[in-house]
Amino acid sequence: MAGTIALKRRISSVKNTRQITKAMELVSASKMRKAQENAKRSREYRFLAYSLLARLNTLTEVKRHPLFDVRKVKTKLYIVITSNSGLAGAYNSNILKLLNQSIIKDKSEDIKPILITVGNKGAQFARRLIGVELMAVYPAFGDNPTANDIRPILNTILDEYKSKRIDDIDVLYTQFISNLNQKASSLDILPAEVDESVINITYKYSFSSFEPDPETVINETAERLIEVQIWQCILESLASEHSMRMLAMKNASDNAGDIIDDLTLEFNTARQAGITQELAEISGGVEALKD
Over residues 137-188, the pLDDT tens digits come to: 888 887 778 878 888 888 898 888 888 888 889 999 998 888 788 888 888 8
Residues comprising the chain, all counted: 291
* Helix and strand numbers, DSSP H then E, in the chain: 6, 5
Q: What is the pLDDT of residue 198?
A: 47
Q: What is the pLDDT of residue 88?
A: 80
Q: What is the pLDDT of residue 24?
A: 82
pLDDT surpasses 60 at 67? yes
Q: What is the pLDDT of residue 79?
A: 92
Q: Is 92 among the domain residues?
A: yes
Model pTM? 0.78
Q: Is 276 among the domain residues?
A: no
Question: Can you give the CATH number for the domain in which 172 is found?
Answer: 3.40.1380.10
CA separation for the pair 109, 74 (Å, rounded) = 9
In 3-state terms, the chain is what percent helix, strand and coil (to 5)? 65, 15, 20
CA separation for the pair 166, 51 (Å, rounded) = 27
**Domain limits at 183?**
27-247
Angle at 91 between CA 89 and CA 92, to 5 degrees: 110
Q: How many distinct structural domains can be found in the chain? A: 1
pLDDT surpasses 50 at 218? yes
Q: What is the CA radius of gyration of the chain?
A: 29
For the chain, percent of residues with pLDDT exceeding 70: 81
Split at pLDDT 50, 70, 90, the class of 58 is low
Task: List, for residues 72-83, the tens digit of each pLDDT value.
Answer: 889 999 999 998
Is the previous residue joined to 113 through a cis bond, with omega within 30 degrees of 0? no
pLDDT surpasses 90 at 85? no
Q: Is 3 among the domain residues?
A: no
Contact 79, 170 (CB under 8 A): yes
Q: Determine which of 30-34, 202-206, 222-226 has the lowest per-residue pLDDT on average.
A: 202-206
User: What are the two backbone dihedrals, phi and then psi, of residue 189, each rounded to the nearest 5 degrees?
Assistant: -105, -20
pLDDT surpasses 60 at 231? yes
CA separation for the pair 98, 274 (Å, rounded) = 55
CA separation for the pair 245, 247 (Å, rounded) = 5
59 closest CA partner among 215, 196, 194? 215
